[in-house]
Amino acid sequence: MEVKVSVDLNPYKERVNRARVIKPIGKVTQVIGLMLEVQGIIARIGEVCDIVVQGEPEPVRAEVVGFRDQHSLLMPLGELRGIFPGCAVVPTGHNLTVRVGRHLYGKVLDGLGRPIDDTFDNSVGEDFPVDNRPPNPLKRKRIDTVLPTGVRAVDSLLTCGKGQRIGIFAGSGVGKSTLLGMIARHGSADVNVIGLIGERGREVLEFLQEDLGPEGMARSIIVAATSDQPALVRLKGAFVATTIAEYFRDQGLDVMLMMDSVTRFAMAQREVGLAVGEPPATKGYTPSVFALLPKLLERSGMGQKGSITAFYTVLVDGDDLNEPIADAVRGILDGHIVLTRKLAAANHYPAIDVLQSVSRLMPDIASEEHKEQAGIVRDLLATYRESEDLINIGAYVPGSNPKIDAAIAKNDDMIGLLRQKPSEYSGYEETLKELAALVGR
C-alpha cells in the first residue's frame, strides 16, 4: 500500500525566492562629504554593504541610506580612509544585526555592538536584528507596578512605574550623567543597558568608574558611540542599545534602558538627512529626525513578558525646554524630569526641579496616601517659591499667611528630602516614611 507524505514546501520556496545566486558587485563613483555614491548594485534601504579597500584586512562596512539617478547612496559604518573611486562594493543581503546574550553582562560595546575591550568571544550568543518594530500596542501589558530608583526626589514626588519611559531634561554640566549613575546603581531592574551616544570619549571611562561603579557595572551592558564616530555609527548605537534591551525583555526580564543622549542621536540623524539632500526644517533639523524619534522611543516600555523602563536624557540648548527636540521628546514619553542650573549652582543635587517635572503614571501606580502627601509637599514648594523674594528681603511678616508660614517652617525639611549624595541609597519604603514624617511635622 502506497503511503503519501505531504511536505510543506512554502518555507523553502521563500528562501529560494530571497536567495541571491549571483551577487552584483558595484563600484564607488564618488565621495561627497559623508556620502558614498555607488554604481552597479541592487540593494534596499538599510542593507549593509562591504567596500573592499586594498591593503586593508577587513572591508569597510556601509549602509544604504538613499538613491539618486540610478546610483545608491551609502554612509560608512567606519572610517572613509583608504576608499577611492572604483573600490568594489558587495551587498551582504541583510540589515545590521547584533550578537546578544548573557555573556554581555559587565561589557562595553561600540556603536555597532562589537566589543571595545576585546575581553570576550563575540561568536557566542545569537544574532538579533537592530531595526525592529515597536511592540503591538494592543499586546503591551499595562503599567501597574512601582519601580524604585533609590533616588528620594524621584520615588517620593515623581514615582516611576515598571515599563515607563522618562525623559531627563537639562543643559550641559547640570548632572544628567550623575543621576543616571545613581539610578543604575540603586535601581531594582534585572539588567541595565546604557547607551552613551555622541558623548566625549573622556566621559566614557569616567562614567563607568565614578557614576556607575563596580556594583552598577556588574549588571550593566554599555554601548558607547563617542562624538568622534561617524554619524551613522552614533545613530546605530542608540538602536543597538535598544535592541539589546529588547532581547532581555523578551526573555521575561525587567530591563532598565538609559540613553545619554537623545539630542546627540537627533544631531546624528540630522547629519545623515542633510547629506542625503533633505531640506533643513525646524532649527536646521530635517523632517526625518522627527519621524525617527518615535520609532526609537516607542520600542521601549512593556512587552508581553518582560519590561523596559527607559530613561532618556535630553540636552536642551541654552537651557530652553521648548527647543524642537526637547518638545518632540516630551510629547512622546510618559513623563519628564527637569534639572535646572539654578539648583545646581546652589549645590542642590540632584538638581531636580520637581515643580517643572511630572510622572504621568504616578496617579495610576501610587497609593492614595502617597499621592496626597506628595501633593501637599508640591503645594508647599510652590508656595515658598512664589513668596521667596519677599522672604529673602525680609518683607514678609510672619503670621500674615498661614500657608506661607507652613512653607517657611518646612522648607529645610523639604530640601533635606530632595537632596541626596550620589553614593547615598534610599529604599522605597524608607523614602515614603520620610515623606509621611515631613507632611506630619
Sign for the pseudo-dihedral over CA of 236, 238, 243, 248: positive
CATH assignment of 369-439, among 1.20.1270.330, 2.60.40.10, 3.90.180.10, 3.30.450.40: 1.20.1270.330
Top-confidence residue, 213 or 95? 95
Each domain of the chain, given as residue ranges in start order, spans 21-95, 98-363, 369-439
**CA separation for the pair 131, 19 (Å, rounded):** 21
From 61, 131, 69, 67, select the one nearest 89 (Cα to Cα): 61
pLDDT digits 0-9 by tens, 72-105: 999 988 888 888 889 999 999 889 999 999 889 9
Tally Cβ neighbours within 10 Å of residue 13: 10
Q: What is the fold, at CATH topology level, of the domain defined by 98-363? A: Rossmann fold (3.40.50)
Please tell me the distance from the alpha carbon of residue 160 to that of residue 292, in angstroms, as a whole number.
25
Confidence of residue 319 (pLDDT cuts 50, 70, 90): confident
Q: What is the pLDDT of residue 122?
A: 67
Question: Which three three-digit cell numbers place residue 155?
Answer: 520615588
Q: Nearest to residue 317, comparing CAs of 261, 371, 358? A: 261
Q: Which residues on neighbouring strands pair with residue 310, listed in sequence order? A: 165, 257
Q: Which CATH number fits domain 21-95: 3.30.70.270, 2.40.10.170, 3.10.20.340, 2.90.10.10?
A: 2.40.10.170
Q: Are 105 and 194 in contact (CB under 8 A)?
A: no
Q: Cβ atoms within 10 A of the Cβ of 436, count?
A: 14
Evaluate if residue 341 carries a pLDDT over 70.
Answer: yes
d(CA 86, CA 31): 11
To the nearest whole percent, how much of the chain has pLDDT over 90? 55
Task: Using pLDDT thresholds of 50, 70 and 90, give the confidence band for residue 14.
Answer: low
The per-residue pLDDT for 56 is 82
